[in-house]
Amino acid sequence: MRVPASALIRSGDTWALYAVKDGRARRRAVEVEADPLVPRQRRDALHLFVVEQLPAKPAHRGLDREGADLGRTIMCHVERTIADPAVLLELAATGVRLEYDLFGLETSYYPYNPAFDMPNDGERMRQILFLIERGHLDQILMSHDIAYKHCLTRWGGFGYHHLLVNVIPRLRAKGADDKIVQTLLIDNPRRAFAYA
């Protein structure tokens, strides 16, 4: 089955809100996964948690039941969904990739789930180092979701250079060596976004 790459993004960002109720978006994402021309990114998984305020387990179990390869599944926006270290480790144990993609957003208020306190960059780094210490370095992806013009430096935001100029030096100061930095910035994205 040939599906355009845009179908995956659409399934994640739009249809995922309904996947908990009927599973159609989850099944569609798994179908797209089988297409070797589509990147292996699963934007649906954690978007479900935020809207439905679910614990971490149902989404990855749902993807697993549908036949998804959890080793090629990316759980995006982990930091806005999971604060409990035990739940984070349980999710990491499934083999999914954990994407911290809100670097630069330094606000604790999260409008889609006001009861959840959004972490700042310091807490994101603490969670990443926690996962690395427990053997999950190869599953971590880092990014900054520059979706609005106020995120750009021209408009006073943190800009595209934020990870390299601000975050990586702080990770190094907290003990990340060259191997860890190489894995986070080059090796993990290369493996995650390679075509089968």
Q: What is the DSSP string of 98-149?
A: EEE-BTT---S--TT-TTS----HHHHHHHHHHHHHTT-GGGEEE-B---SG
* pLDDT for 54: 40
The proportion of the chain whose per-residue pLDDT surpasses 90, expressed as a percent, equals: 37
Q: At what angle do helices 57-65 and 24-33 cross, to 10 degrees?
A: 60
Q: What is the mean pLDDT of residues 165-186?
A: 97
pTM score of the predicted model: 0.75
Core vs surface per residue 158-178: b (16+ CB within 10 A) or e? bbeebbeeebbeebeeeebee
47 token code pair: 């978007």
Most confident residue range from 76-80, 93-97, 120-124? 120-124
pLDDT at 49 over 60: no
Residue-wise pLDDT for 112-146, tens only, equals 778 889 999 999 999 999 999 999 999 999 998 88
Cβ atoms < 10 Å from Cβ of 141: 22
* pLDDT for 137: 98
Q: Which of 26, 145, 130 is nearest to 87 (CA)?
A: 130
Q: What is the CATH number of domain 5-192?
A: 3.20.20.140
Identify the DSSP state of 2: -
Q: What span, in angstroms and rounded, lies between the C-alpha atoms of 122 and 18?
A: 33
Q: What is the mean pLDDT of residues 60-64?
A: 62
* pLDDT for 145: 81
Q: What is the mean pLDDT of residues 12-33?
A: 47
Q: What span, in angstroms and rounded, lies between the C-alpha atoms of 48 and 25?
A: 10
Q: Which of 88, 35, 41, 36 is nearest to 63 (CA)?
A: 41
Q: What is the mean pLDDT of residues 7-22?
A: 36
Q: What is the Cβ-side half-sphere exposure of residue 39, based on CA atoms within 13 angstroms?
A: 13
What value, to the nearest 5°, has the Cα angle with vertex 62 and ends 191 and 40? 20
